[in-house]
Structure 1
Amino acid sequence: MEKIDLQYPLVLVHGIVAHDRGGIIDFWGRIPKVLKSYGIDVYLGNTDSWGDYGSNAKLLKQTIDDILAGTNKQKVNIIAHSKGGLDSRYLIWKYNFGEKIASLTTIGTPHHGVDIAELIDKQKIVHSRIAKKALHAFGKIYGDKDPNLYNVNTQLTPKYMKDFNEQVPMDNSVYYQSYYTTMRNSFDDLMFFYLHLFTKIKNGSNDGVVTKKSADWGENVFEIKGGISHAEILDIKKKKISGIEIPEIYVDIVQCLSKKGF
């Protein structure tokens, strides 16, 4: 197997629900192991599953600072899934991290919000003090350091993301690229059957959570074909999807970053 010459370490940053602090579920599936077999220096972001982008950016900052100190490298590459892409964008802007991030690749990231978050936000019960306390307690049980499910849902609404995009611009020193997937129909992944159907009726093609339009951000936008869902792109099922080995998608992404000198 030919090694891939990636100049900077790679950090994988997950989104909501997922975590990378151990447990019975490998939310990145076989991806880290396969990338390491190509000689890639792979690290995990160590962010909260239910942390808002402010608190997660702070956790990610510490992770990256530790990686840079331990490897004597000046920068890292980030591949982020779902809300992890927003956490990473905020990190770069909030902490002026452009000089430490060579590239940010987002996959299925809701850059323009998600419809289900808007629907949840319209429910009065969600805004009650009891609901907020219950959501916080759930996040703690889940293993988060600083969970805030209420803020997370608010931040993922299209209205909120419109303000986010105006406030958090791209950093000219970072290479950005966005990838998206779409389910061909609601039966592609039964876990997302109703969410896909609801989102498709409201805003068109989607991966079961994030629409094509929401994931489309920046000048470098690419589609991952094959009817792959929002969770399947993480290789959570550890098997071929539509004949595609999911880890190889990440290998291709890393190869392209390598060719660009990152």
Structure 2
Amino acid sequence: MAKRLFLSLLFGLLLLSTPSYAIAQSQSLSEAKQLHEGTKGSAMGKGDNGNDETPGEWFVGETPTNPIPDAPLLLFVPGLNNVAQVFWEDGGLYEAAFEAGYETAFIQLHDAGGASADMWDNGKLLAEKITEISDQFQGKPITIIAYSKGGVDAQAAATYYGAWQYIDRIITLSSPHHGSELADLANSSWAGWLAELLGMRGEGTSAVETGYMEHFRSLTDEETYAYVNDYYTLGGTDWGSVFSSTWFGGMYLSSYGDNDGVVTTVSSRLPKGEEVAIGDWNHTSIRSNRIFPIIQDDVLQGNNPSRDYLIYKEQISKTAKTEQYVHGDALRNNKAEKHLFPIEDAIDKVNIQLYTANPLQRVELIDPNGKVYDDVQVTQQEGGFFAGATGYHIQINQPSAGEWSLKMRSEKKNAYLLHGQYDKAIQKQILSETQDRGSDSKWKTNKKQVKEESIEVHYTIVESGQQIPVVTATSKGLPLLSKEFSQLKKNRSYNITMDINGETISGSPFKRTVVDSVYLSE
């Protein structure tokens, strides 16, 4: 507390001018709910075009009938492509906070206005509005409860825009503090067709790529005001119901470890924050009322009770990483399209996931022997990085080795993203991450399973958020020589897709895909 008070006084002396305390443009939550009746469908966000709320507008919750003396004001901050309404849903956090006796406030960031924003624009807006909220509540300490990317926005507001002086603590719910590999995928060369049609490209998505968030962490973690406020983090390991949006995301992210369908548990942690819990929550349920007792007991009241249903970091399972194949393209109107790809021998199980911008008239998966798999599970993706897409899923146990084909027909302008996830014994896997930090590549092949001379890698590099490649190159083996990347500009984010072809020791062709991102600094 003394440190915070000293820094607050120091900050005040350094300011050239005091903050502008505009008249708060706030509404009570009952007024807001009346104003926003019929907009519940937008609560999950619609990417780059669907939300029509007013950025910077904020709302005050109803005064609790049993207010807790000296309790902080709880300010709820939404995430990527979200609007404030995500906290008002039945069984949401607002309901739990109100019943527990806390005063509350809610804010619309830039994403609520129809286009996602990075942490800099959202952080600046959030900091400006926090001064108004603090003024209306007579300087009452503010505890931020931030969902998903809102946690990154909140740290930017506190660290770079002076909001730390109004905040006592920040609680983040599955925030991608180290980025999300799903953001990498959404901005990759293969997913570009689909993301563009869905309107899911935007500054917010690019900002939470793993490469850019590594850059943000390198800038932020040593900043003077980065950890003046106490940070508390929560993360999840559930993927939701089978074939739901978070389940599809969970399947993809399983290659990177435990996750909640959008963010890995590793990414939900802050280097200098305190991890409250990793629990059996998906990326949607982690903002529900079931989380509030943990926030209240462990953070707001500091009781730290033990709970059998929580999985603390010491107990997180070491998930075996799977391997994957990714491909995508445009689909022409009323024309049958076919994509061919190999599945090698020794695969125990393959999960085929297909996303399209519009529903398909027909989809079939055909094995090398001509067997047709048309028993496809179909779902509509309501959230995540591919919100609005139609998802198709086929699982095959002990798939035949050889060339498989995926047949699709669409009656509308369309695009698809194919994700094949291959499960096989660890000792028979083809790719693994190298532990050698001095290596030119973070990936290596399994010499006991692969004919190394057969390996060919095609690199496609795009600037984050763009579709046209800035570099395409092919190499024999891993990695590609660094001279191929000399034309890339500094202080930019780039998305890298590596398409890897080769043969196993037994001569069976295979394909793998690695999607990554990097920020090139000076």
Is residue 145–residue 172 contact of structure 2 (8 Å, CA) maintained in 1?
A: yes
Query: Which position in structure 2 is the counterpart of 1:78?
Result: 144
Query: Which position in structure 2 is the counterpart of 1:69?
Result: 135
More strand by share: 2
Distance apart, 1:6 and its partner CA: 5.0
Distance apart, 1:168 and its partner CA: 1.5
Query: Which position in structure 2 is the counterpart of 1:153?
Result: 205
Q: Distance in 2 between matches of 1:12 and 1:82?
A: 11
Query: Which position in structure 2 is the counterpart of 1:242?
Result: none
Query: Which position in structure 2 is the counterpart of 1:208?
Result: 261
Query: Which position in structure 2 is the counterpart of 1:9?
Result: 73
What secondary structure sits across from 2:110 in the alignment? Answer: coil
Query: Which position in structure 2 is the counterpart of 1:177?
Result: 232
Is residue 114–residue 158 contact of structure 1 (8 Å, CA) maintained in 2?
A: yes
Query: Which position in structure 2 is the counterpart of 1:31?
Result: 93
What secondary structure sits across from 2:266 in the alignment? Answer: helix
Q: Distance in 1 between matches of 2:83 and 2:108?
A: 8
Q: Distance in 2 between matches of 1:207 and 1:224?
A: 10
1:176 partner amino acid: Y
More helix by share: 1
1:124–1:222 Cα change, 3 Å: same
Q: Distance in 2 between matches of 1:28 and 1:82?
A: 19
Match status 1:46 vs 2:101: no
What secondary structure sits across from 2:267 in the alignment? Answer: helix
1:98 partner amino acid: W
Q: How does 1:182-261 map to 2 (within 5 A)?
A: 182-183=237-238, 187=241, 190-201=244-255, 203-217=256-270, 218-226=272-280, 228-235=281-288, 247-259=289-301
Is residue 232–residue 299 contact of structure 2 (8 Å, CA) maintained in 1?
A: no
The one-character-per-residue Cα deviations of 1:34-84 (angstroms, maximum 9, x if unpaired) are 211222011112213322212211221232111111110253110101000
Q: Distance in 1 between matches of 2:92 and 2:267?
A: 27
Q: 1:55 aligns with which of 103, 121, 127?
A: 121
Is residue 51–residue 152 contact of structure 1 (8 Å, CA) maintained in 2?
A: yes
Query: Which position in structure 2 is the counterpart of 1:244?
Result: none
Distance apart, 1:94 and its partner CA: 1.3
2:72 partner amino acid: Y
What secondary structure sits across from 1:179 in the alignment? Answer: strand
1:3–1:119 Cα change, 3 Å: same
TM-score, scaled to structure 2: 0.40
Q: How does 1:84-123 map to 2 (within 5 A)?
A: 84-123=150-189
1:71–1:154 Cα change, 3 Å: same
Query: Which position in structure 1 is the counterpart of 2:4?
Result: none
Show structure 2 runs of 5+ residues with no match: 1-64, 303-522
Q: Distance in 2 between matches of 1:8 and 1:115?
A: 35
Distance apart, 1:29 and its partner CA: 4.5
Distance apart, 1:110 and its partner CA: 0.5
1:171 partner amino acid: A
Q: Which has the higher contact order (CA 8 A, sep 6+)?
A: 1
What secondary structure sits across from 2:279 in the alignment? Answer: coil
Q: Distance in 1 between matches of 2:79 and 2:164?
A: 21
Distance apart, 1:17 and its partner CA: 3.0
Q: How does 1:119-134 map to 2 (within 5 A)?
A: 119-123=185-189, 126=192
Show structure 1 runs of 5+ residues with no match: 140-148, 236-246
What secondary structure sits across from 1:214 in the alignment? Answer: coil
2:101 partner amino acid: G
Q: Distance in 2 between matches of 1:84 and 1:90?
A: 10
The one-character-per-residue Cα deviations of 1:79-132 (angstroms, maximum 9, x if unpaired) are 1010000000100111122221100111100111111111222227849xxx5x
2:154 partner amino acid: S
Is residue 53–residue 87 contact of structure 1 (8 Å, CA) maintained in 2?
A: yes
Is residue 139–residue 166 contact of structure 2 (8 Å, CA) maintained in 1?
A: no
What secondary structure sits across from 1:215 in the alignment? Answer: coil
What secondary structure sits across from 2:300 in the alignment? Answer: helix
CA RMSD of aligned residues (A): 2.8
Is residue 209–residue 230 contact of structure 1 (8 Å, CA) maintained in 2?
A: yes
What secondary structure sits across from 1:249 in the alignment? Answer: helix
Q: Which structure has the larger Rg? A: 2
Is residue 75–residue 99 contact of structure 1 (8 Å, CA) maintained in 2?
A: no
1:229–1:189 Cα change, 3 Å: farther
Q: Distance in 1 between matches of 2:97 and 2:204?
A: 30
Q: Distance in 1 between matches of 2:242 and 2:70?
A: 34
1:99 partner amino acid: Q
Is residue 187–residue 193 contact of structure 1 (8 Å, CA) maintained in 2?
A: yes
TM-score, scaled to structure 1: 0.76
Q: Distance in 2 between matches of 1:189 and 1:34?
A: 29
Moved more, 248-257 or 25-34: 25-34
Alignment size in residue pairs: 228
